[in-house]
Amino acid sequence: MKTFLETLQTRNEVLFFFGLICLILSVVFLVLTRLTNRQVMGVNAWYKPFKFALSITLYAWTMAWFCHYLMPAFNPAPFNWAVIGLLGFEIVYIAVQAGRGQRSHYNQSSPVYARLYSLMALAATAVTLYTAYVGILFFIRSFPDLPDYYVWSIRIGITLFVIFSLEGAVMGSRMSHTIGGPDGGNGLPLVNWSRQYGDPRIAHFIGMHALQMLPMLAWYVFKDLKITLLFGLLYAVLAVFTLVQALNGKPLFAQKSSVTTNPAPSH
């Protein structure tokens, strides 16, 4: 791990430190979930900034690693500062709202909140489109020094990331991340995915983290182009399946209903 972090810092120092800051924040937010009882929609308010800070760390470090392969023809500086400015705004706003016990997403309770939520959506979309541009560069360029299975894992990973990042519009258009029931309440531990209703966040999570999952498996496990392509296809099918399941209002991990058996009446 130390070698990875040292190499990452030499590859892209700016995104390395941004990711490190977000990682530290994620730890702080996780600790706050144990120290405070403030809730939003029936869930501890600090879980959302924790998840977002950790996710931004993974994204920043992954893209810092990938962009290195595009240099020197690709200048990472504009990309770096776009990511920091846009995602930095997002995590700061989410954290501020958590501290106030207010929703950050889908909050239309005032014109100010509605505008800030729209700005968050625009920021996320802009980062996604910039990532798509980086993905296009991976498709149109050749990388003779890299294994073909690894290059294709990056291509597929970025493609799925972009598609399922934009899938967030499904939730944005509904102003809700639950289909078939209300937002909030207890779900799966930590991620809080609903166990009663459809939850598009599952597909959102699976698809976006193809960015890390596919290249890691291709590099360390598969080491074969055909296996990498097959797994990429199966991974995409899984993401689509979870999305269809959610759109139909069905939970992926259904909560077991407790059935009370009444004793038979005596005669």
pLDDT for 193-221, tens place per residue? 999 999 999 999 999 999 999 999 999 99
pLDDT for 7-30, tens place per residue? 999 999 999 999 999 999 999 999
Tell me the pLDDT band of 266, cut-offs 50, 70 and 90: very low
Contact 152, 158 (CB under 8 A): no
Instruction: Report the candidate in 242, 149, 167 with the shortest Cα–Cα distance to residue 208.
Output: 167
Tell me the pLDDT band of 257, cut-offs 50, 70 and 90: low
Q: What is the pLDDT of residue 262?
A: 52
144 pLDDT above the threshold of 90: yes
251-255: Cβ within 8 A, 24+ apart: 251/193, 251/194, 251/195, 251/196, 251/197, 251/198, 251/199, 252/193, 252/199, 252/202, 253/188, 253/193, 253/195, 254/195, 254/196, 255/195, 255/196
pLDDT for 156-174, tens place per residue? 999 999 999 999 998 998 8
What letter does residue 43 receive in the DSSP assignment? Answer: E
